[in-house]
Amino acid sequence: MRRDSEQPYLAAVLNNLAELRQAQGRYEEAESYHQRALEIWKNALGTEHPHYATGLNNLAGLYYRRGEYAKAEQLHQRSLNIRQEMLGANHVDVAQTLNNLAELYRTQGWYARAEPLYLRALRIYQRATEQPNSNTAAILNNLAQLYFDLGNYEAAESYTKKALAIWEQLLEPNHPQLASVLNNLGTIYAKRAFPAQAQRCYTRALSIQSKNGQTTHPITARILTNLAVLYQGQGEYERAKLLLCHALDIWRQVVGFEHPEIAATLYNLARLHHNQGQLPTAESFYRRAIAILETTLGPEHPSVAEMLQGYAALKYDRGEEAEAKEIQSRIRQIQSTHAEKNPPRLIRQTQDPPR
């Protein structure tokens, strides 16, 4: 007879605890629970069982949130192989892993890899049921993010609104998922120069987070950052600085000091000081942000090029033209490499997903 600690039901409980801790932003505890669950499933059911694949998928999701993308990709690929072999290519669990793997690629700037995985996952979910469901909403939301990253804000807005409509139909009015999608919609409005609509989305999202006791959650940090950027664009620098410092404090509690979200927040602080003419302080923030992003995402990630644009502008403003030109040369090199990895013909920016 197996010991109680080896029973699959205990692994399921540990997995659920891990998901809860992850939702709370308590990633170290979540990792410990995930690893214990995996070990139990491995001993009780073997490494080719769908439950084991679920554990791999969930642990990969945790690594993704922590910015450990190589680990996440490896686990997602293992999970995908098991699920396709054991459940079939059109099973909804396969769609889940395809979506997660696509999201991982999108985050790293591999848009041409991400889009077909999203679309395949969407087709699987749509074949499974014609009723509105959260899985379909998630794919629509992620496709919106893909098109947002590509600068197609009109398409991004359309997909985000479709996702929001489904979630508002399925969820309670103050469900945390609504805060996340409202944050995304606010960011799109900001990019499209609709600041009033953006602020309404951010304010509603923060209210939802507060009502759920998630004031130190990663989503809250993202909302604060985006609202700060909006205020900065309106010239409300001190108000923006307070929000960015609050967001930075949250991120440091959740992910430590070396993470893309830390880099993004530092970059926004750099831009804020740059706009105020505080150039030495701005340069310090630019350099720290770029260094973190190069370490976590790699020196040729498109986000590195975006940050370098701001740094080059700073160098020009400081009269350091030679250094600015060197930085711009590097930007062009990154952009060229990125274009080779993502052929434009593979990205169908204006095409609706299959129905």
Domain ranges, ordered by start, for the chain: 1-128, 257-339
pLDDT of 177 reads: 93
Phi/psi at 318 (5° precision):
-90, 5
Average pLDDT over residues 256-270: 93
Query: Angle 50-65/92-107 helices, nearest 10 degrees?
Result: 20
pLDDT-based confidence at residue 6 (cuts at 50, 70, 90): low
299-331 b/e with 16+ CB inside 10 Å = b? ebbbbbbebbebbbbbbeeeeeeeebeebbebb
Least confident of 5-14, 217-226, 284-293, 314-323: 5-14
Average pLDDT over residues 270-284: 97
pLDDT of 285 reads: 98
Q: d(Cα 247, Cα 223) in Å, to the nearest integer?
A: 8
Query: 107-125: per-residue pLDDT in tens?
Result: 888 999 999 999 999 999 9
pLDDT-based confidence at residue 349 (cuts at 50, 70, 90): very low
Under 8 Å between Cβ of 204 and 182: yes
CA distances from 84 to 48, 63, 74, 222 (A): 11, 22, 16, 35
What is the CATH architecture of 257-339?
Answer: Alpha Horseshoe (1.25)
pLDDT of 352 reads: 27
Question: Pick from 294, 233, 292, 297: which is nearest to 265 by CA?
Answer: 292
pLDDT of 354 reads: 28
Average pLDDT over residues 198-226: 95
pLDDT of 234 reads: 93
pLDDT of 240 reads: 97
Least confident of 210-214, 245-249, 253-257, 321-325: 253-257
Fold agreement between 1-128 and 257-339? yes
Residue type, 33: Y
pLDDT of 169 reads: 95
pLDDT-based confidence at residue 212 (cuts at 50, 70, 90): very high
Give the ranges where 108-236 is alpha helix by DSSP (H): 111-128, 134-149, 153-170, 176-191, 195-211, 218-233
pLDDT-based confidence at residue 344 (cuts at 50, 70, 90): very low
Average pLDDT over residues 211-216: 93
Query: 92-108: per-residue pLDDT in tens?
Result: 999 999 999 999 999 88
Query: 173-183: per-residue pLDDT in tens?
Result: 999 999 999 99
pLDDT exceeds 80 at position 11 = yes
Q: Provide, rounded to the nearest whole percent, the portion of the chain with pLDDT above 70.
A: 93
Under 8 Å between Cβ of 123 and 354: yes
Least confident of 6-10, 37-41, 163-167: 6-10
DSSP 8-state symbol, 324:
H
Residue type, 263: A
pLDDT exceeds 50 at position 84 = yes
pLDDT of 343 reads: 42
What's the topology of domain 1-128?
Answer: 1.25.40
- Token reading at 274: 């740059």
Average pLDDT over residues 86-92: 94
Average pLDDT over residues 41-69: 88
pLDDT of 336 reads: 87
Average pLDDT over residues 336-342: 66
Query: 24-40: per-residue pLDDT in tens?
Result: 778 888 898 888 988 88
pLDDT exceeds 90 at position 304 = yes
- Token reading at 182: 């409202």
Q: What is the mean pLDDT of the chain?
A: 89
Average pLDDT over residues 152-169: 96
What kind and span of H or E run contains 2? none
Going by C-beta distance under 8 Å and a sequence separation of 6 or more, which residues neighbour residue 140? 122, 159, 160, 162, 163, 166, 353
